[in-house]
Structure 1
Amino acid sequence: MKTNASIAQTTFASVVLCLASVAHAAGPHGHTLEPRHGGMVVEAKDIDYELVASPKKVELYLRDHGKPVDVMQASAKLTLLSGDKKQEVELKPAGGKLQAEGSFQVGPGTRAVVVVTRPDKAPATARFSFK
C-alpha cells in the first residue's frame, strides 16, 4: 500500500519528467526549431540556421525569433565532410538567404559546418548532420 508521501513523490517525478520533455521539444530558448524551407534547423547564438541542401544547390536561411534575418551584407563559408572528402563552399546573398550553386556531396552521413559572418556581429558557427 502506498503512503501519501510516496504518491506525492511519484506525482512530482511525473510532473518533472513531463516539463523536461516540453522544455526539450521547445529548444533551449522556448521555441521549436521547425524547418520552413524543408531543411535542417539548428540554433547558434540565438539565431536559427536552416540548411537546405541538394546535389546542385545549397541554401542557408537565418531567423531571429521566427523573423528572417537580413543577409544582404552577410557571407558564409560552408564545409561539407563526406567520408574522407572535404568540400568548401562560399555562400552569397540571394533573395533573403545565402546560397551557392554547383555540385555538392550531401548524402546520408555527410556533416556540414557553416561559419556565418554578418556586419557588426561576431562570426557564428552552425553544425549539421545529414541523415
Structure 2
Amino acid sequence: MNFKQSFVMTALSLAAVLTSPAVVAGSGHDHSPKHGGVVAEVKDVDYELVAKPDRVSLHVRDHGKAVDVSKATAKLTLLTAGQKQEVELKPMTDRMEATGQFNIAKGTRAVALVTLPGKPAVTARFELK
C-alpha cells in the first residue's frame, strides 16, 4: 500500500468513527438503570426512579457520576389508575427518598420536579414497567 492509499484508508476509518451514533449523539455515557429503576434523561443528567409500594427513591447521575443531592429538593407526583399522590423526597446519602405507602403498579406514571443547588428546576417524567 502506498502513502496515498494509506492516507485514504486512515481518513475513511476516522470518518467512520466520528460519524458513529455514539459520537454523533454526544452523550458518550450509559443511560441504563443502576439501581433497578427507570431512567429519564433531562439536560444530560440521568434521573433514576426506583418505586416500590413502601419506598420511592431518586438517584441522580451526571455522565455516569453520582450528583451530590444533599441540598437538593424534589417533589414526586405519582399517577396510578386515575389516582394522584404527591410525595416530597428527602436527601439521603446518595439519593433522594421517601417512605410510606405508595400506589405503585405497572403503568404508573411519575413526574419529578427536582431542584439542584445553583440550577433551575427540571422535570423528569417516568412510566413504570
TM-score grouping bracket, smaller chain normalisation: 0.7 to 0.9
Cα gap change, 1:47/1:89 in structure 2, threshold over 3 Å: closer, same or farther? same
1:9-88 equivalences under 5 Å are 22-23=21-22, 29-88=27-86
8 Å CA contact 1:91, 1:99 repeated in 2:
yes
Distance 1:87 1:52 in 2: 16
Structure 2 gap ranges (5+): 1-15
Distance 1:83 1:28 in 2: 37
Deviation of 1:84 after TM superposition, in Å, equals: 1.1
Aligned to 2:96: 98
8 Å CA contact 2:105, 2:128 repeated in 1:
yes
Tell me the TM-score normalized by structure 1. Answer: 0.78
Cα gap change, 1:27/1:86 in structure 2, threshold over 3 Å: closer, same or farther? farther
Deviation track 1:40-74 (CA, whole Å, cap 9, x = no partner) reads 11100111001111000001000011110000000
- Aligned amino acid, residue 68 of structure 1: A
Percent identity among equivalent residues?
Answer: 55
Deviation of 1:27 after TM superposition, in Å, equals: 6.7
Structure 1 gap ranges (5+): 1-14
Aligned-partner SS, 2:41: strand
- Aligned amino acid, residue 120 of structure 1: G
Q: Give the total of aligned pairs.
A: 110
Distance 1:28 1:110 in 2: 31
Deviation of 1:28 after TM superposition, in Å, equals: 6.5
Distance 1:58 1:50 in 2: 10
8 Å CA contact 2:42, 2:123 repeated in 1:
yes
8 Å CA contact 1:27, 1:33 repeated in 2:
no
Cα gap change, 1:117/1:83 in structure 2, threshold over 3 Å: closer, same or farther? same
Q: Say what the alpha-carbon RMSD is for the aligned residues.
A: 1.8
